[in-house]
Each structure stands twice: as structure tokens, then as C-alpha cells.
Structure 1
Amino acid sequence: MPEPIKIVCPHCDAVNKLPADKLSAGGKCGKCKKKLFAAKPATLTAANAQRHFEQSDIPVVVDCWAAWCGPCKSFAPTFNQAAKKLEPAFRFAKLDTEKEQR
């Protein structure tokens, strides 16, 4: 039996274990009961980004964007389409660089 794959919930940040052969079906979070994949990018913050990077067994692809950035706005539909097409093999997420400055 294959090792379970760890997936961080995009809603409550709980770490979930999914059987590898069930990954394509998505699944629901054991804590908040919401879908682990919604065919759209998750939202990362300074508070939860590290957890997603360190605890998830699938690659996390991040779009670091800002509201004033024209190229960021132009790229958003492409990034959203990639999330729709490539999840759950990858976690797509967006990080607002203006809100999350340290």
C-alpha cells in the first residue's frame, strides 16, 4: 500500500493525509470538512505559507502579486487556469506582497 500524501487544507491549514491512489478524487479536510482542492488558487499569508511549503507533499506553486502590478493582473487568468487543470498534482496559491510585507 502506498504511503499517504500530506495535503495542507487551504481553508483551515490542517494537515491531512490522503491515500496516494485517492489524490485525483480530491478529498475533504478532516478538520473543517471543506474540499482540499477547489480548482482555484489558495490564499497564502505570512502566517500560513511556511506550513504549506513544509507540510505538503505536493509541490506548491506560488504567484506573488500586488494590486498595482499590471503584469500580475495580466497573468492571473493564466495562473487560475493552471490551477484548474493541474490540481491536485500541484497546489497553486497566491500571496499578496503588499499585505504580507514583513
Structure 2
Amino acid sequence: MHIACPHCLAVNRVPETRLHDDPTCGRCGKPVLDGQPVELNDQTLATIAGRTELPVVVDFWAPWCGPCRQMAPQFQAASAQLKGRAVFAKVNSDDSPAASSQFAIRSIPTMVLLRGGREIARQSGAMGAAQIVQWVKSHTG
């Protein structure tokens, strides 16, 4: 399984049997799948989404958005529950206008589920951790 490092963008090969074992990047030594959402931007989103074989769940949000702040701990909890099954990422829509435009983000929070860099599902509005986990599982099998 190929996983792009969210820190240095190097592509790492991780055997599927080791996805839950806290793999580290061969280049920078930082965790590749630690169960925490990673912060991405215009430059890093395409690289991570396009070079990672696991599904990538992107939360488009903004710091001034009340529902976004309310959903943040739920998104983090869902990330921990699906550790090794998906990469969770947060993109600040104010700081990353190109990514927001590319995915036609009209309201926040909006989650976009990507596989191979392509959108396979989308959900707008704040959700609880259990709802997020169920949503991801329903689209990834």
C-alpha cells in the first residue's frame, strides 16, 4: 500500500498487515498513519490524495465557522477510530482557495472522500464521530 507522508510528501510502501502499527516515513521518520487528522493546503492536498492508496477524508473548514469548530473533535475521534483504514485531513478553506475552488466548496464544513485523488463522496454539515465513521465505511466498503 502506498502512503504519502503528510510531513515531507515522500511516498512510503506499507504492507497492508502493518497499516495499524504506526508506520513511520522512511525519509523524515515522522508518523505516516498516527490516527490524527493532518493539516493540508493548496500545495499538499493533491500530492497526498493522489499518491495515497488509502481513502482520504478531507474536512474543508474555517476557524470562524461555529459548526466547523463543533465538528473538529468529532472528526478527530473518527480519525482515531479509522486509523489505518483512511487518512483524515483538514483544509482551511480561507487559506486554501485553490483547493476550495477545485472541489467547488460552497458551504462549510464539507467533507470530501477521495480515492486516487478523485472524489467518490461528499457530505456537507457537521456530523458526529459515529456518523462520520459510518459515512466513510459506507463508501469504502
* TM-score of the two chains, using structure 2 as the length reference: 0.67
Stretches of structure 2 that go unaligned for 5 or more consecutive residues are 99-141
**Counterpart-to-counterpart distance in 1, 2:37 and 2:84:** 11
What is the SS of the residue equivalent to 1:93? strand
What is the SS of the residue equivalent to 1:48? helix
Tell whether 2:33 aligns with 1:51.
no
Stretches of structure 1 that go unaligned for 5 or more consecutive residues are none
Identity of aligned residues (%): 37
Structure 2 letter corresponding to 1:62: V
Task: Using CA pairs under 8 Å that are at least 6 residues apart, name the structure with larger relative contact order, 1 or 2.
Answer: 1
Does the aligned pair in 1 maintain the 2:19–2:33 contact within 8 Å?
A: no
Provide, for residues 58-102 of structure 1, a one-character-per-residue CA deviation record: whole Å limited to 9, x for no partner. 000011000111110111010000111111110000000011113
TM-superposed deviation, 1:8: 0.8
Which runs of at least 4 in structure 1 moved beyond 3 Å after TM superposition? none
TM-superposed deviation, 1:26: 2.6
* TM-score of the two chains, using structure 1 as the length reference: 0.91
